[in-house]
Amino acid sequence: MEHSEGGGAARPCEDCAWYRTMINRAAGDPRPRADLEALFGAHLRRTHAPEAPAEGRRHLRGL
């Protein structure tokens, strides 16, 4: 997410909006919803998480 100068609101991430929309559409079907929530969590960690020190960070193996 990009932040504007002067402490203004952040510009929304288009990928985050897409994940939220798809999760809401899958509300009645738990399996696809869980898959989408897992992918959304991975997107958040990969794209929006502040960098953590390498020592204490565990990386999940890709499938």
Contacts of 39 (CB under 8 A, 6+ apart): 19
Q: What is the DSSP code (8-state) at residue 61?
A: P
Mean pLDDT by 10 residues, the chain (63 residues): 47 89 89 92 89 55 57
pLDDT at residue 9, as a whole number: 55
Please tell me the chain's helix, strand, coil percentages from 3-state DSSP, rounded to the nearest 5: 50, 0, 50
Q: Give the residue ranges of DSSP H helices in 26-61.
A: 30-43
Which residue matches tokens 């002067």?
6
Q: pTM score > 0.85 for this model? A: no
